[in-house]
Amino acid sequence: MKAIVCHEFGPLETLSLEDLPDPTPGDGEVLIRTEAAGVNYPDGLLVQGLYQARPDRPFVPGNEVAGEVLSVGAGVTHLVPGDRVLAAVSGGGYAEMAVCAAERCFAMPRGMDASEACALLVAYGTSHHALKQRAQLVAGEWLVIFGAAGATGIAAIQIGKTMGAKVIAVCSIDQKRALALECGADHAIGYDTLKDDVRRLTDGHGADVVYDSVGGDAFAAASRFMARNGRLLVIGFASGEIPKLSVNLTLVKEYAVVGVFWGNWTRHDPEAYLDNMQELFAWHQSGAVRPHIEGRYGLGDAADVLSRVLGRGATGKITLVP
């Protein structure tokens, strides 16, 4: 099979498209023919050795795959060859075939597009968990989303609206702000006068929930426009700067800073994880959420695509289609 291989941590350009032996499923595993593999921001960090996980080398990146089950290992009874599944793989996604633990596979609704399914796993899964379990978002609250034109940002817009929030999308350029509005945001603003704009749009109330995947100066601004009893969600640091918090602000303004680590949560609370995925599938089927797929690319484009994602140049979801 063809696969993207990382031999040593380093520049994205060192990734190579190679022929590898076809994998075989072990006990409790399934072998999947990859229809689409999701590209995510942490994938690029992982290849460069900048992520909290550091797998043994060489390795094949990619943690989300949608495709057809080719074969199953011993003990797998709920999936059979021919089923189409969305799978949270432990690496190995950027390939024509991937192996996944059967318990981390979800049967896809009939006719679901493989790239849209990939978006529902990490991007929508992260935003859903962040807003539902971590923020406990309530209908009518003000939700401010940084990086709102990216895959997780668009997911947060659509999920926030589905949960009844009033959504302010924050994006760097006009094109991205227009996309955020198309995806359902009530308002779209930039970063230059962020604090003043949020206070103006909320009539001085401030943000009940902030979805921060950017960090840096945006986090500093958020720490000053939070509403009382607000929740500032720490998703990631796409700006490249991990911010420092003036904790006196949390005391005076009475808001909470809440960490969101979707991958860790899925391992510790598998039943809630399953419930969330079923809810996302139902929302997708009803049209309440609809991933924006920016592009579908070949495996050989992996390095270029990852560079765009890390450079915050991508909008919506990008997948690799072998």
| Residue 171's CATH number | 3.40.50.720
Q: Tell me if 211 is assigned to some domain.
A: yes
Mean pLDDT of 38-61: 93
Whether residues 149 and 246 fall in one domain: yes
Whether residues 189 and 316 fall in one domain: no
Reported as a pLDDT band with limits 50, 70 and 90, residue 317 is very high
Query: Sign of torsion, CA 111 114 116 121?
Result: positive
Determine the straight-line distance between the first and last CA of the chain, rounded to whole angstroms: 10
Whether residues 162 and 237 fall in one domain: yes
Q: Tell me if 179 is assigned to some domain.
A: yes
Whether residues 163 and 213 fall in one domain: yes
pLDDT tens digits, one per residue of 202-259: 999 999 999 999 999 999 999 999 999 999 999 999 898 999 999 999 999 999 999 9
The long-range contacts involving 250-259, CB below 8 angstroms and separated by at least 24 positions, are 250/223, 253/226, 253/228, 254/228, 254/229, 255/226, 255/227, 255/228, 255/229, 255/230, 255/231, 256/230, 256/231, 256/232, 257/232, 258/134, 258/135, 258/231, 258/232, 258/233, 258/234, 259/134, 259/234
- pLDDT of 302 reads 97
- Domain extent, residue 129, equals 124-263
313 pLDDT more than 90: no
CATH code of the domain containing 316: 3.90.180.10
Mean pLDDT of 139-158: 97
Whether residues 131 and 250 fall in one domain: yes
Whether residues 137 and 99 fall in one domain: no
Picking from 263, 283, 309, the residue at the C-terminal end of a domain is 263
Mean pLDDT of 100-119: 95
Whether residues 128 and 249 fall in one domain: yes
Contacts of 130 by beta carbon, 8 Å cutoff, 6+ apart: 156, 211, 233, 235, 260, 262
Q: Tell me if 306 is assigned to some domain.
A: yes
Whether residues 62 and 187 fall in one domain: no
- pLDDT of 53 reads 84
176 pLDDT more than 90: yes
Contact 32, 96 (CB under 8 A): no
Whether residues 8 and 103 fall in one domain: yes
Q: What are phi and psi of 114, to 5 degrees?
A: -65, -40
Q: Tell me if 286 is assigned to some domain.
A: no
Query: Of how many residues is the chain composed?
Result: 322
Whether residues 93 and 28 fall in one domain: yes
247 or 312, higher pLDDT = 247
Q: Tell me if 278 is assigned to some domain.
A: no
- pLDDT of 57 reads 96
128 or 315, higher pLDDT = 128
Tell me how many domains the chain contains.
Answer: 2
Over the chain, what is the mean pLDDT? 96
Picking from 215, 244, 263, the residue at the C-terminal end of a domain is 263
312 pLDDT more than 90: no
Mean pLDDT of 137-156: 97
The CA distance from 231 to 222, in Å, is: 10
Mean pLDDT of 174-184: 97
Q: Tell me if 114 is assigned to some domain.
A: no
Whether residues 32 and 157 fall in one domain: no
Whether residues 145 and 190 fall in one domain: yes
Mean pLDDT of 33-54: 93
Q: Tell me if 249 is assigned to some domain.
A: yes
String of b and e for 253-278 (b: at least 16 CB within 10 Å)? bebebbebbbbebbeeeeeebeebbe
Q: Tell me if 21 is assigned to some domain.
A: yes
314 pLDDT more than 90: no
Picking from 246, 263, 280, the residue at the C-terminal end of a domain is 263
Mean pLDDT of 100-112: 94
Contacts of 6 by beta carbon, 8 Å cutoff, 6+ apart: 14, 15, 46, 47, 57, 58, 59, 60, 61
Reported as a pLDDT band with limits 50, 70 and 90, residue 311 is confident
- pLDDT of 96 reads 98
The CA distance from 82 to 96, in Å, is: 16
